[in-house]
A and B are shown apart, each in its own frame.
Chain A
Amino acid sequence: MAQQNIRGGLDFEAPILELENKIEELRSFSQTTQVDLSDQIEKLLERCNEKKRAIFANLSPWQKVLTARHPRRPLSSDYLQLMMDDFVELFGDRSFRDDPSIVTGFGRLGGHKVCVVGHRKGKDTAEKLACYFGCSHPEGYRKALVKMQLADKFGIPIITLINTPGAYPGVGAEERGQAFIIAKNLMEMARLRVPIICTVIGEGGSGGALGIGVGNRNLMLEHSYYSVISPEGCSAILWKNTEFKERAAEILKLTAEDLLGFGIIDEIVPEPPGGAHREPVRAAQSLKEAILRHLRELEKLSGEDLVKARYQKLKRMGVYEEETAGLLSLAGSA
């Protein structure tokens, strides 16, 4: 994996990391020696910020995928901690078991009561394994639905944080109806009578992402991706191996800009220069601001109107050709 691990960073981040290291050195030198280096540090910071902007403004689709999977990228648990007040986690699907790969609970976001449902990838190895690296089982999606229906009953808006490589493909998952429970979530989320705001914060892996992704507003963090299939999976199908994942990432059109262009998402939430992992606090502020803005808009609508709006939004999704009485029109969301 040459792409990874320059001190927990990615290859293309190397020039930024170099500058960050230099700045760090100067700072500690100036602290221990009491020599004023603020001018040099200021200049270096400037250069570093320029570098960050230049590099992250021009990421290739594959580099976006790598950023979305960055080992230090903030996870749902980070955003919960940084955005929410009085968050109380609730467990279990009341049916089979508690799937830790989806976190659910209630709390306040900028004074608004909300229900949060998010994929959990896990922080340390043990947690990662327990969460199957963010790949949920049917019970995870059922847990999400049970809590969302609780929110619905008491008129509490729902915030979902999407970050999964995909729903888990395994024997148990199939035995317990992975497809059936995801389908059920799609159907039930379509008719919940509360505002739903869904944000892809990292990986938007196919049906596993969509399973908590039917909203009145769909947002994506700037360097996240959302795709029908992983670049590796696409490469394996088309080229019979995963070597063409970079090319696959290009042709799948999976970046936030692409999805905005297709009319699938409503807004791209900007990340701090150099990506959310450089400044999680600012990333969380940016996300919180965006969610609250949409929430205030949506809270004006009645339950009936929210359901209708979601229906109309989904109705527009798709790009096809429609021939009407000899006239060709291009319909759809683009």
Chain B
Amino acid sequence: MNDTPQDSLPSPTAKRQLDPALDSGLEPLEARTDAVKKRRDMPANLWMQCDGCSKLLYKPRVEEKLNVCPECNYHFEISSAKRIQMILDPASFEERFTNLSPLDPLGFRALKAYKDRLVETQHRTGLKDACVVGTGKIERIPVVFGVSDSRFLRGSMGSVVGEKIFRGVELARDLKYPFIFVSGSGGGARMDEGILSLMQMAKTSAALADLDRHGGLFISVLTNPTMGGALASFAALGDVVIAEPKALIGFAGPNVIRETIKADIPAGFQTSEFLLEHGFLDRIVNREDLRSTIASFLRMFVFRPA
């Protein structure tokens, strides 16, 4: 379930030193992201290539469109800070639970130690872990809002992410606010925290069961990519589940499925559109309409004590 955390791969050099012939049937994810990075950093940082349609795009124009491709409507991944800015009323967000930081309970060490990766990622992103939770307002309606950040170890869920979601849901229950979470965590459960990560799935789901019992509203927003342990727990449990277009959403990673069935997977498999067609999404919503759509749900589904 945890087959796409690029961050947990060794550095390209380390891999090459290990054995250049080792690349099995699995896709060299890191090589692929490197290529993507290179493509994105084109002349003078003004041009980028779309991951969806491969067209050359003028960066300022993409940014103006909330990081959506003006040609094919591909939705690029964005940071938690940008997401908050896009969805919440200006300056309404107050982050909570900032005193929680990850530990390394397993002493997890492969080619690189988890501890070191945590410190490096914290320095690079300015985040303590892969999600941000707090209170804020959407069109003046108070909410508890959370969002995962894919820059932090692929937005994967370890103990801190689980705890923040758990406390966020409890806060929503106690304040009688709706709970909104925007998922975009590639790897799902964080392998480096082992079984403790897996248990966060049950923990966050239990919190949501309790919120549900109290008559609370949970709106789950799925963005590219929402896989594995995130989707198989809190992200799938919204009273309303919506997704951005063309996001990769599923349980098992495409590579694992390909390996298992020894065949190619159908085009469009595990996309938002695929999930809508099979009945698992309430709606696909373009990024530019996300704020107003969520606000309309908030007005429709008002807290009603059970």
Given known A206-B198, A226-B195, A237-B3, contact A179–B209 (CB-CB < 8 A): no
Min CB distance, A308 to chain B, in Å?
10
Q: Do the beta carbons of A183 and B202 come within 8 Å of each other? A: no
Min CB distance, A319 to chain B, in Å?
4
Q: Do the beta carbons of A237 and B261 come within 8 Å of each other? A: no
**Chain B residues in 8 Å Cβ range of A236:** 3, 24, 26
Asked if B15 is at the interface (CB within 8 A of a chain A CB), the reply is yes
Asked if B177 is at the interface (CB within 8 A of a chain A CB), the reply is no
Min CB distance, A166 to chain B, in Å?
7
**Chain A residues in 8 Å Cβ range of B236:** 179-180, 183-184
Q: Do the beta carbons of B237 and A262 come within 8 Å of each other? A: no
Q: Do the beta carbons of A319 and B1 come within 8 Å of each other? A: no
- Chain B, 263-304, contact with A by CB distance < 8 Å: what is the 0/1 string? 001100110001000111000000000000000000000000
Segment touching A, from B66-74, B96-104, B134-142: B96-104
Considering the complex, give the chain B residue whose CB is closest to the CB of A235: B110
Q: Do the beta carbons of A187 and B99 come within 8 Å of each other? A: no
**How far is it, in angstroms, between the C-alpha of A264 and the C-alpha of B106 when the chains are bound?**
13
Q: Do the beta carbons of B22 and A166 come within 8 Å of each other? A: no
Q: Do the beta carbons of A179 and B251 come within 8 Å of each other? A: yes
> In this complex, which of A175, A179, A180, A184 has the most chain B Cβ atoms within 10 angstroms of its Cβ?
A179
Q: Do the beta carbons of B2 and A228 come within 8 Å of each other? A: yes
Asked if A8 is at the interface (CB within 8 A of a chain B CB), the reply is no
Q: Do the beta carbons of B191 and A237 come within 8 Å of each other? A: yes
Given known A174-B250, A233-B3, contact A314–B199 (CB-CB < 8 A): yes
Q: Do the beta carbons of B1 and A171 come within 8 Å of each other? A: no
**Chain B residues in 8 Å Cβ range of A175:** 274, 278
**How far is it, in angstroms, between the C-alpha of A270 and the C-alpha of B5 when the chains are bound?**
36
Considering the complex, give the chain B residue whose CB is closest to the CB of A252: B194
Q: Do the beta carbons of B189 and A228 come within 8 Å of each other? A: yes
Q: Which residues of A contact B (CB under 8 A)?
A: 166-171, 173-180, 182-184, 186-188, 190-191, 206-207, 210-211, 213-214, 226-229, 233-234, 236-241, 247, 251-254, 258-259, 262, 264, 310-311, 314-315, 317-324, 330-334
Beyond A191-B210, A251-B106, 13 additional pairs, beta carbon < 8 A: A169-B260, A183-B234, A187-B205, A190-B205, A228-B1, A233-B256, A240-B26, A251-B110, A254-B195, A318-B162, A318-B199, A319-B159, A332-B159
Q: Which residues of B contact A (CB under 8 A)?
A: 1-3, 5, 8-10, 15, 18, 22-24, 26, 28, 99-103, 105-106, 108-111, 159-160, 162-163, 166, 189, 191, 193-203, 205-206, 208-210, 212-213, 228-229, 231-237, 250-253, 256-257, 260-261, 265-266, 269-270, 274, 278-280
The 9 closest A-B pairs by CB, nearest first: A169-B252, A318-B159, A186-B205, A183-B236, A179-B251, A190-B206, A319-B105, A178-B251, A179-B231
